[in-house]
Amino acid sequence: MPELVWLNGEVQDLDTAVTPVADHAHLYGDGLFEGIRIYNRKVFKLDEHLDRLYSGIRYLGFEMQIPQNELKQTVLDVCAQAGEEKGYIRLNVTRGTGLGLDPAHINRRPNVMVMVSRLSLYPPEAYETGLVAVLCSTRIIPAQCLDPRLKTIGRYVSNIQAKLEANRQGAGEGIMLNTEGYLAEGTGDNVFLIRDGVMRTPHLSCGILAGITRATVIQLARQAGIEVREEFLTMYDLVGADEAFLTGTAAEVIPLVGVDGKKIGCGVPGEVTKRLMALFREHTNEGTPF
């Protein structure tokens, strides 16, 4: 099936699609994005992703021309044209087009893109054996500088630097702290750990992204009778956990079995992690059909 891009009302093939070179996200990172999964010809958590996107649009003052319900239908239409049974949607909204930081002097009609493609963040075997991570020296951007609830394009430069650190050490993922030294997130994932049957994850005030998959897994865990706490955690808590895992739209739910040369628990995916992986996979049967 074709990999397609819808850009400002025009559908193009992904391989030949072009964007304006003076797009404000291309020049300054001044844009928002969402990554969304397709499972079984259904778009997973589409409304939640669009809610987060439009909250960011309002906060950043983008002069969005497309109502949320109309963009939702556009996403579904492009998915239907692409015909992907299972895939990945990249949705971008940028402030507009023009050179110069000051939005007063650019064309402030947002550029809106819907890309339907495929993405595999980790190799399939990693979901069976688990990831080994390293602690990165690159810290996340402080919340007082840029609210982490904004899924901005420019914010991810620091995450890319952390990922490069992990790559240089041959690790499957990198773990990032905030500037106060508290556990934050992976380079593209939220972090969870299990200790004595209790599931713990960094509090949102630690400066982490309020992940859609993170919220889904917390809900699934509580429905399954697992106690969940959002806390201020350190690397001591992670290394001392019985088991750990990462979550994200691209990552889904993947075990984390070691960090900085130390095993987490027994160094293999834990039973609670495997249970939550199964619950999440079952939950992906829900979604918006196209």
Q: Which residue has the tokens 């397609």?
A: 4
Q: What b/e readout covers 87-106, taking b as 16+ CB neighbours within 10 angstroms?
A: bbbbbbbbbbbbeeeebeeb
* Partners of 33 in the β-ladder: 92
Question: How many Cβ atoms sit within 10 Å of the Cβ of residue 193?
Answer: 26
Task: Give the Cα separation of 15 and 7 in Å (integer).
Answer: 13
Does residue 151 carry a catalytic annotation?
A: yes
Say which DSSP state 14 is in.
T
Q: Which residue has the tokens 């990249």?
A: 90
**Based on C-alpha coordinates, what's the Rg of the chain?**
19
Say which DSSP state 104 is in.
G
* Size of the chain in residues: 290
Which helix (H) or strand (E) element contains residue 34? Answer: strand 31-39
Task: Give the Cα separation of 26 and 21 in Å (integer).
Answer: 7
Task: Give the Cα separation of 135 and 20 in Å (integer).
Answer: 38
| Active-site residue, from 151, 262, 263, 274 | 151
The DSSP annotation for 163-232 comes to HHHHHHTT-SEEEEE-TTS-EEEESSSEEEEEETTEEEEE-GGGT----HHHHHHHHHHHHTT--EEEE-
Would you name the residues annotated as active-site residues?
A: 151
